[in-house]
Every structure is written in structure tokens, then in C-alpha cells.
Amino acid sequence: MKEICDIMEKFADAKINKTYLKVCAPMVRYSKVHFRTLVRNFNADLCFTPMILADSFCQNSKARANEFMTTTTDFPVIAQFAANNRDDFVDASKLVYPYVDGVDLNCGCPQKWAMKDGYGCSLLSKPEIIYDIVKGLRNVLPNKFSISVKIRLLNDIKKTVILCQQLEKCGVTFLTIHGRTIAQKSSGPVDINGLKEVREALSVPMVANGGVKNLNDANHLYEVVKCSGVMAAGGLLSNPALFSGITKTPLSCVKMWMELKNKNIERITFQCYHHHLVFMLEKVLTKQQKQIFNHLSTFESVDDFILNNLFENSIVDFHYKHELGNFTECQFPDQITMKHCTKCRTCGKSVHYCVCNKYDYSTTHGNFFISHINADDGLDYMDSNIFDEPI
């Protein structure tokens, strides 16, 4: 078990230095350890894992293997879970506890599938479940271990304030507030005044989220809201160097991404490697180059394309501030996982025999998406049509 990085100390240090924590959002299928390492090299202070379904994580060994990987240098890191009950969230948190510095409950996903199954924004209308989940975990893990909740603004700011104040009483370490309502999803203006009103009512640190496309956006959000941290999602996908102040993905960032893949190619899927580059190179490649690049289907073809089209006449230098580190072989106790593997939540049959247990991340291919890329900050809530298959 690694030593826990105290997230509260991180917030306290930032406050002393009159600045804020720069946070990489939980993005489904993204925000994985290679990407977390990349953004840390460009001034990200705190990273989240992708949003993980707590019940699947507890039930399915493939889900655990594919959705959670970490290394000896992967800190501070917070695992985000979507859950609709205390047992799933508490048990999933216990499984990752030895390997992360905190866990986060997603109460902000506005997608229909999540609302239908009682996840994400659905919980905002059932605050008693949120309180039960948070208190249930706070009672079993050390105070130094961070427990946080990510929500959206309610239509009534006063109700948002009351919800957040109640979460304070439950023992949250900090809160992340997305500055849009459920109905807005990822479109429309961010309610900065609403974020400010919530922040002024809280005593725990607050991370503001929404509309951050560059460092100026992040600085403005911090200066107006007076928050403790600023979270970026789609802006970091398009430009992992966002928090360093660079306005579009530098070639040094692309080169580093290639090198991070080479350090342990067995631990990164092609689609993850390729998709990140599609986002990163959106403002770098010509329209014709994009049409070719989006259809590449092997590591070798992608690397050859970049070397021939971007690096051919230039020397790209970079240095690591944060190395990838050695991968941790996570051990998940049977006494927890066996509680959840007796039957499928969908068909009710044993998970060993059911037809629903089809989790296979590796079945996707190079043409995972080839259509228009909409890299906005809604991706942390799966608010995108670029996925051609369900999670």
C-alpha cells in the first residue's frame, strides 16, 4: 500500500501561494494513467481517473483491469465512481484505497442512461442517498483519505448551497461544482456568479468546472469565483499543455505522448493512443491530413505519419518533470469482489454464465470514431456522440 498524498495539504499549499490547484477532469475512456502522466508534465496538479461504474468494478475483473491502472508516480490521483447505493460505492472505494489518494462520487452525469439507472444527476434529486454514500465511506476510511463529490448547479442556487453545506457535514474533503445545470449539459454559458455564491457559502475547498479552454479561462474562473481549484476536461484533450499557458498542443507534447506509449505499450490500447492524438492534433493538421490520420489503425502507421508530417524538418526536444513510473500490480481482495459476483444485475443469472457479461474493451478498433470531433468539457460526463458502442 502506498503512502496517501494529503489532498487537503495540496489545497492549503496553493492557498498559501495565492494560487489554485489545476485539475484534470474524470473523462470516460480518457484520463487514464498515460494521459495523467502527460498532463502532469504540463502543470496539472491533481488528476482524476475516468468515471468508473462502481457496480461493474466490483463485479467484473475485466472492468477492474481495464478501467483502473496506476504506477509508482501516479499521484495525487482520485478515482471517480458512479454509484447509486452505498454498498457499491464503499466496496469499490475499498478496492482502490491502497492505490489512490481519494475517491469521488459522480453526481453530475446528465446522460439518459445514467439518469435511468439512478446514477449521476439523478442523485441530485435524492440527496439522502448521496449523504448515505458519503457518510458510509467516511466511517470506514481514514480522515486523511479524500472523499469528494462532483455535482452540477441546481436551477435554484439556494438549493445548491444547502446541498453542499449538508455534504460538508457528512465529511467531504472538497467539492467540485460544474457551473451548468442538468438541462444545459455542456452547452450554454457557465454560471460564474452561481459558482461564486456556492463557494462563499462553503468552508471546504471548492473546485470550479466548466468552459475552460485555455489558461486564461482557468485564471479568470479562479479570480472571479475565488475557488480552490479549477478543473478542465475537453480543453485538456485538445491541448494537454493547457495549464502551462501554451495555446495549442506543442510538438513536444505530441512527442512525449509517443514516448509514454513506448515505455509500456502493453498497457495502452491503440484506440486510447490514437484518439488522444486526434484531439491533440485538431489545430495542427490540415483538413486533408485529418482525413488520413483519423483512419489509421496501427501504432506503426500513426507514428510513421507523425514522424513524416510533423517532425521531418524539425528537432523536437522535451524533458520529463514526471516519469510514467513502474506499473502497480493491483490486488483486489476476494472477500469484497466475491460479494458482488454472484449474479448479474441485468439478467439475474450467475455472472459466469450470463449473456450480459460482455465487457471487452479490446474489441474496438482503429476506426473507433472517424466523424466530427466535438472536444468540449462535457466529455467528463460522456456527453458526446463520438462513441460507437456503449460503455
Q: Among all residues, which ones are annotated catalytic?
A: 109
Cβ-based neighbour number of residue 315 at 10 Å: 6
Distances (CA, A) of 2 to 23, 37, 71, 97, 239: 21, 18, 10, 9, 31
List the one residue out of 338, 8, 377 whose CA is nearest residue 171.
8
Q: Do the Cβ atoms of 210 and 179 come closer than 8 Å?
A: yes
Query: Which residues are paired to 21 by β-bridges?
Result: 229
Q: Do the Cβ atoms of 329 and 261 come closer than 8 Å?
A: no
Question: Please, which contacts does 136-141 make with residues 24 or more away whose CB atoms are closer than 8 Å?
Answer: 136/86, 136/89, 136/90, 137/86, 137/89, 137/90, 137/93, 137/103, 138/170, 138/171, 140/90, 140/94, 141/93, 141/94, 141/97
Distances (CA, A) of 356 to 85, 352, 353: 21, 10, 9
- Specify the 3-state DSSP secondary structure of 102: strand
**Which amino acid would we find at residue 381?**
Y
Distances (CA, A) of 66 to 89, 146, 227, 283, 290: 18, 23, 33, 30, 28
Q: Do the Cβ atoms of 107 and 131 come closer than 8 Å?
A: no
Helix (H) or strand (E) holding 160: helix 157-170
List the one residue out of 190, 149, 195 whose CA is nearest residue 173.
149
110 preceded by cis ω (within 30°)?
no
